């Protein structure tokens, strides 16, 4: 029988700074910025820029950016919404006019405004101390050529037959074939874009050379226009939060699914979770059913708050959690609608020596986003627009200049007024359930952050032919007897690989008594480093 409850990696330790990110070159870039006296915001931009080069399937300049930033000077958690809107030509009538019965999964019609670059500038303006050209230098070096990891090589191989975009094939099959593991992979057009961005700033992307190229590429079969790009801006706002045990958990608000993680924690707070043996059938049954309840609320209510009423306060009320909790049946599984579990993203966390902490989530949505690379730029555009609803009564119905529903979330936890944890993970639809699993590992079971990340996780949703909507994929480090006991309760259990990449590549930092403790997920290429 497989043993669980061990860590394959040690916890990273430090006092002056810590970075946990999904690629070693990105983590090193962030550490270098921190060692030079930069803030968590400065390091976050350097980290993200390198990830945009080294994880082109997961994230990039053509995607969106959300973060929570704990400002040590004020003890406040700030929310930066770097999500872009749909194009001014988007709408149900336009779909009908084009003879489209539904939104496609990839292609120009799925592209919304890429908000990442503008968000970087906004983050640096408020909390940064270093110039953009300095922060982008490591990414530019990587774009001139870096050794490809096996995960990215595999992702390119899997995507070759998916996208018909000629520019994507030219960029990612530079010698007419898939680049091999360890082979230097250069992206000269992206290197030029990064150099221009370092010199010109974010307007390059929204009114300059890159913005004009995006508009030209989408002119015929997309919804975006040059005016949509020029009008884009991100927004600073307030996070949403709830208390859980003796901590306060902050998450990114709608249009992201951070609400689902908080609803799930509110439900779990009424159960003596720590009395249940870890990864027993009783433990997993409770978590799975809680997640189903939270996701049912998510799917009904979350949309762009600028265009729809999202009852955040009512959904996070403790008495509402008590009413919903009563629906839990400890003996059997129940059916609730869950979404599509696909999604490729990068989540990373940074803590600096001044006490500032940032948790970032940045994404193209699906692997390689829309599959559309803008000629001459090296920029792959996101397919976040595929998440709009075609139901006219739904909060996330397709409409012009509207932010789509986002699976992207980031979390900061405080024991007021000090931060005690920052956490983010890729994983599309599964991100909220992964937050619930890892945070309860830390705050109910007392695990260190590395073990909390490495423990077996589950993912609910259909992504294999024939899967029911509530298929529950559980890493097979959970003993077979437990999986059978869950099946006896009515769960549709699929045994997943021991370290299953679809259950997220998680990264976290725990802050305790002046020590920074970092964890990185062995399911991905990431690493945590402190000093």
Coil/strand/helix, residue 28: helix
CA distances from 48 to 155, 284, 358, 382, 434 (A): 19, 34, 12, 16, 21
Measured distance CA(459)–CA(472) in Å, rounded: 6
Q: What is the Cα–Cα distance from 58 to 234, expressed in whole angstroms?
A: 21
> In the prediction, which pLDDT does 364 show?
95
| pLDDT tens, per residue, the chain with 531 residues | 344 556 889 999 999 999 999 999 999 999 999 999 999 999 999 999 999 999 999 999 999 999 999 999 999 999 999 999 999 999 999 999 999 999 999 999 999 999 999 999 999 999 999 999 999 999 999 999 999 999 999 999 999 999 999 999 999 999 999 999 999 999 999 999 999 999 999 999 999 999 999 999 999 999 999 999 999 999 999 999 999 999 999 999 988 899 999 999 999 999 999 999 999 999 999 999 999 999 988 887 776 777 767 788 888 999 989 988 988 999 999 875 433 445 568 999 999 999 999 999 999 999 999 999 999 999 999 999 998 989 998 888 999 999 888 889 999 999 989 999 999 999 988 999 999 999 999 999 999 999 999 999 999 987 767 788 889 999 999 999 999 999 999 999 999 999 999 999 999 999 999 999 999 999 999 999 999
Neighbours of 217 (CB within 10 A): 23
172 three-class SS: helix
From the list 489, 493, 465, the residue with the least C-alpha distance to 478 is 493
Where do runs of H (alpha helix) occur along 220-269?
A: 226-230, 258-268
SS3 label, residue 187: coil
Most distant pair of Cα atoms in the chain: their distance:
62
- Comparing CA positions, the residue from 407, 252, 240, 239 lying closest to residue 316 is 240
pLDDT for residue 2? 41
pLDDT, position 3: 46
| Catalytic positions, written as ranges | 345
Q: How far apart are CA 483 and CA 499, in angstroms?
A: 16
Q: What is the DSSP string of 388-420?
A: -B--TTSTTB--TT-PPPB----EEEEETTEEE
Rg (Cα) of the chain, in Å, rounded? 22
DSSP SS3 for 354: coil
d(CA 238, CA 250): 10
| pLDDT of the residue at 125 | 98
Report the sign of the C-alpha dihedral through residues 290, 294, 296, 299, in that order. Answer: negative
Within 10 Å of residue 479's Cβ, how many Cβ atoms? 17
Q: What is the pTM of this model?
A: 0.94
Please tell me the predicted confidence (pLDDT) of residue 336: 57
Residues paired with 516 in a beta bridge: 14, 511
Q: Which two tokens stand for residue 368?
A: 């390689």
Write b or e for each residue in 506-525: b if 16 or more Cβ atoms lie within 10 A of its Cβ, otherwise e.
Answer: bbbbbbeeeebbbbbbbbbb
The answer to whether the bond into 528 is cis (omega within 30° of 0) is no
DSSP state of 501: G
CA distance 189 to 279: 47
- Give, as one character, the DSSP assignment of residue 62: B
């Amino acid at each position: 029988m497989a043993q669980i409850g061990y860590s394959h990696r040690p916890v990273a330790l430090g006092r002056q700074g810590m970075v946990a990110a999904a690629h070693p070159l990105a983590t090193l870039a962030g550490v270098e910025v921190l060692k030079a006296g930069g803030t968590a915001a400065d390091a976050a931009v350097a980290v993200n820029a390198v990830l945009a080069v080294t994880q082109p399937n997961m994230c990039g300049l053509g995607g969106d950016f959300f973060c929570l930033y704990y400002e040590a000077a004020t003890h406040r958690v700030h929310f930066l919404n770097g999500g872009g809107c749909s194009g001014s030509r988007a709408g149900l009538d336009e779909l009908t006019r084009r003879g489209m019965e539904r939104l496609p999964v990839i292609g120009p019609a799925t592209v919304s405004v890429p908000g990442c670059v503008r968000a970087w500038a906004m983050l640096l303006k408020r909390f940064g101390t270093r110039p953009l050209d300095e922060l982008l230098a490591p990414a530019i070096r990587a774009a001139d050529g870096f050794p490809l990891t096996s995960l990215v090589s595999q992702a390119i191989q899997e995507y070759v037959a998916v996208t018909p975009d000629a520019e994507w094939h030219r960029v990612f099959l530079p010698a007419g074939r898939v680049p091999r593991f360890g082979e230097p992979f250069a992206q000269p057009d992206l290197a030029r874009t990064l150099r221009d961005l370092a010199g010109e700033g974010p307007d390059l992307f929204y009114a300059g050379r890159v913005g004009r190229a995006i508009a030209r590429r989408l002119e015929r079969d997309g919804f975006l226009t040059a005016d949509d790009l020029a009008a884009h801006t991100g927004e600073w706002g307030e996070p949403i939060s709830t208390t859980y045990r003796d901590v306060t958990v902050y998450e990114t608000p709608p249009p992201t699914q951070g609400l689902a993680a908080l609803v799930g924690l509110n439900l779990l707070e009424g159960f003596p979770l720590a009395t249940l043996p870890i990864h027993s059938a009783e433990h997993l049954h409770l978590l799975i059913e809680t997640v189903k309840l939270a996701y049912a609320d998510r799917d009904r209510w979350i949309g762009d708050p600028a265009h729809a009423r999202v009852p955040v306060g009512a959904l996070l009320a403790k008495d509402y959690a008590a009413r919903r909790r009563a629906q839990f049946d400890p003996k059997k599984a129940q059916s609730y609608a869950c979404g599509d579990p696909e999604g490729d993203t990068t989540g990373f966390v940074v803590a600096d020596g001044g006490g500032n902490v940032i948790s970032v989530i940045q994404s193209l949505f699906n692997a390689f986003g829309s599959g559309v690379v803008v000629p001459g730029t090296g920029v792959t555009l996101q397919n976040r627009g595929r998440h709009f609803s075609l139901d006219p009564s739904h909060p996330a119905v397709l409409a012009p200049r509207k932010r789509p529903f986002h699976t992207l979330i980031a979390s900061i936890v405080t024991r007021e007024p000090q931060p005690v944890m920052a956490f983010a993970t890729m994983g599309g639809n599964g991100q909220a359930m992964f937050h619930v699993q890892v945070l309860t590992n830390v705050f109910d079971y007392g695990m260190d952050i590395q073990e909390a990340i490495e423990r077996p996780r589950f993912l609910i949703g259909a992504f294999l032919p024939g899967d029911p909507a509530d298929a529950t994929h559980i890493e097979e480090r959970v003993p077979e007897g437990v999986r059978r006991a869950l099946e006896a309760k009515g769960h549709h259990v699929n045994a997943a690989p021991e370290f299953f990449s679809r259950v997220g590549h998680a990264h976290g930092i725990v802050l305790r008594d002046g020590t920074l403790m970092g964890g990185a997920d062995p399911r991905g290429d990431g690493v945590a480093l402190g000093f």
